[in-house]
């Protein structure tokens, strides 16, 4: 196949990209986006600060631009993200306790209801686990409302959009380590108790090495009965970039429940990182990493 999306579709998978709404008016950008990718994530526009700038006053203008562009061009949408410690609106940052719990669940409900029928999968909760060896939760205003805030968010999301797959999404989970094991134990518990969870996202913001058990880690989650997805892939530019992209792609293809890969951007000049981590260079040319992914798909 000649594009990432078409090549991924040969095995029933997708290949996506994160997109900022502002780029949709740049034709050089949308030409690549439309040609290569068949899943779209809003880079910032569906986050809590963007969608609920004042409490219970929702603004879906930019998120809708992205979702409508995707759907009108025959692409699916990954919703990102309903609940996160970061990029909260100011009014939420200072809330706590039961008022925050209610505000969070209202946010999850209203945003998921707005996009009902348009979203393939939601990152319901993003980055709720701590880095390092504890395997426990990250401290945040949300976590301080009680350890069950994550399952409450998943239940609210399911009620609001029963057709969307509901994912937990995190980073530094690129192998079997204390953090990924903490998440694994949570997902196992959710499945055992019937908490609605369908998928786990592995952000995969990578440096110059890839953990040797990257695939085994995906597989152990899949074995719990959830889909797995690579949700925010980008890889530090360097001699190993193309190899790491290929290894991640092969790992996903080797796991039958790995349903797709999303790159966290299109061209290097639009990346949130400054180390040229994407598949297209600043001029929109295909990089070696692009060809290695296409080859691996």
Active site residues: 232
For ligand XIL, the binding residues in 226-245 under the rule CB under 6 A are 232
For ligand XIL, the binding residue among 203, 249, 259, 270 (CB under 6 A) is 203
Rule CB under 6 A: say whether 270 interacts with ligand XIL.
no
Q: How many residues bind ligand XIL (CB under 6 A)?
A: 6
User: For helices 97-114 and 149-160, what crossing angle results, to 10°?
Assistant: 30
Of 128 and 164, CB closest to ligand XIL:
128
Rule CB under 6 A: say whether 181 interacts with ligand XIL.
no
Of 182 and 277, CB closest to ligand XIL:
277
Q: How far is the CB of 107 from ligand XIL (least distance, A)?
A: 16
Angle at 41 between CA 43 and CA 269, to 5 degrees: 50
Nearest to 77 by CA among 102, 45, 40: 40
Of 44 and 240, CB closest to ligand XIL:
44
Of 151 and 170, CB closest to ligand XIL:
170
For ligand XIL, the binding residue among 38, 51, 126, 173 (CB under 6 A) is 126
Of 85 and 188, CB closest to ligand XIL:
85
Rule CB under 6 A: say whether 172 interacts with ligand XIL.
no
Rule CB under 6 A: say whether 44 interacts with ligand XIL.
yes
Gap between the Cα atoms of 26 and 50, Å rounded = 22
Q: How far is the CB of 256 from ligand XIL (least distance, A)?
A: 25
Q: How far is the CB of 122 from ligand XIL (least distance, A)?
A: 13
99-103: Cβ within 8 A, 24+ apart: 100/141, 100/142, 100/145, 101/145, 101/146, 101/149, 101/152, 103/55
By beta carbon distance, the residue nearest ligand XIL is 272
For ligand XIL, the binding residue among 60, 91, 272, 291 (CB under 6 A) is 272
Q: How far is the CB of 126 from ligand XIL (least distance, A)?
A: 5
Q: How far is the CB of 78 from ligand XIL (least distance, A)?
A: 11
Binding site for ligand XIL (CB under 6 A): 43-44, 126, 203, 232, 272
């Amino acid at each position: 196949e000649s594009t990432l999306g078409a090549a991924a579709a040969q095995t029933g998978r997708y290949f996506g990209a994160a997109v900022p709404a502002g780029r949709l008016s740049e034709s050089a950008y949308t030409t690549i986006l439309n040609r290569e990718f068949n899943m779209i994530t809003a880079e910032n526009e569906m986050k809590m600060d963007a969608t609920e700038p004042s409490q219970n006053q929702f603004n879906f203008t930019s998120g809708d631009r992205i979702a409508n562009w995707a759907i009108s061009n025959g692409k699916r949408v990954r919703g990102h993200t309903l609940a996160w410690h970061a990029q909260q609106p100011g009014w939420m940052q200072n809330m706590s306790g039961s008022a925050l719990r209610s505000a969070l669940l209202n946010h999850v409900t209203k945003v998921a209801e707005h996009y009902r029928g348009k979203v393939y999968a939601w990152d319901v909760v993003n980055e709720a686990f701590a880095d390092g060896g504890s395997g426990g939760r990250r401290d945040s205003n949300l976590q301080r409302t009680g350890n069950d805030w994550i399952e409450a968010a998943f239940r609210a999301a399911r009620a609001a959009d029963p057709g969307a797959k509901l994912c937990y999404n995190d980073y530094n989970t690129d192998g079997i380590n204390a953090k990924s094991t903490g998440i694994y134990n949570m997902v196992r518990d959710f499945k055992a108790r019937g908490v609605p969870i369908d998928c786990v996202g592995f952000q995969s913001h990578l440096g110059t090495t890839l953990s040797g058990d990257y695939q085994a880690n995906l597989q152990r989650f899949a074995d719990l009965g959830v889909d797995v997805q690579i949700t925010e892939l980008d890889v530090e530019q360097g001699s190993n970039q193309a190899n790491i992209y290929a290894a991640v792609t092969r790992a996903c293809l080797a796991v039958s429940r790995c349903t797709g890969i999303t790159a966290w951007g299109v061209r290097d000049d639009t990346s949130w990182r400054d180390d040229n981590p994407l598949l297209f260079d600043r001029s929109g040319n295909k990089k070696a990493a692009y060809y290695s992914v296409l080859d691996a798909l």
